[in-house]
Amino acid sequence: MCLAIPGKIIELDPQNTHLAVVDVVGVRRKVDLGLLQDESPRVGDWVLIHVGFAMSKISEADAVDQMQTLTMLGEAEAAMQEVRGYGLENEEQADSAPRWKQ
């Protein structure tokens, strides 16, 4: 629950300005950007996600480090399970093989 999952903003939702599609090692899900409203998030920004909400902007290098940390902590599987779980019935099936395993 307290996992912080790094992802990259791929697309802002034109209808719902607080929603964005975020890519987490190949898995794409909608997350809420409402808690980043002071930082005007843009496509291409890297963010840390907690329970489906982007909580902070980070650098790309820190995003890579964070994924590495999750892997080291044995939490990468749980993190990806969490990301896949966002949106319940998973409208978007853009999953590809998780890259950190390669």
Backbone dihedral angles phi then psi of residue 59, each to the nearest 5 degrees: -85, 165
Q: Cβ(20)–Cβ(30) under 8 Å?
A: yes
Closest CB 81 distance from other proteins, rounded Å:
8
Q: Out of 21, 25, 48, 67, which residue is the one contacting other proteins (CB under 8 A)? A: 48
Neighbours of 37 (CB within 10 A): 10
Q: Given the complex with other proteins, which of 37 and 96 has the nearer CB atom?
A: 37
Residues 16-45 binding other proteins (CB under 8 A) are 32, 34-39
CA atoms within 13 A on the CB side of 80: 17
- Nearest distance from C-beta of residue 85 to other proteins, angstroms: 4
CA–CA distance, 30 with 38 (Å, rounded to integer): 20
Confirm or reject binding of residue 85 to other proteins (CB under 8 A): yes
Least distance in Å: CB of 90 to other proteins? 11
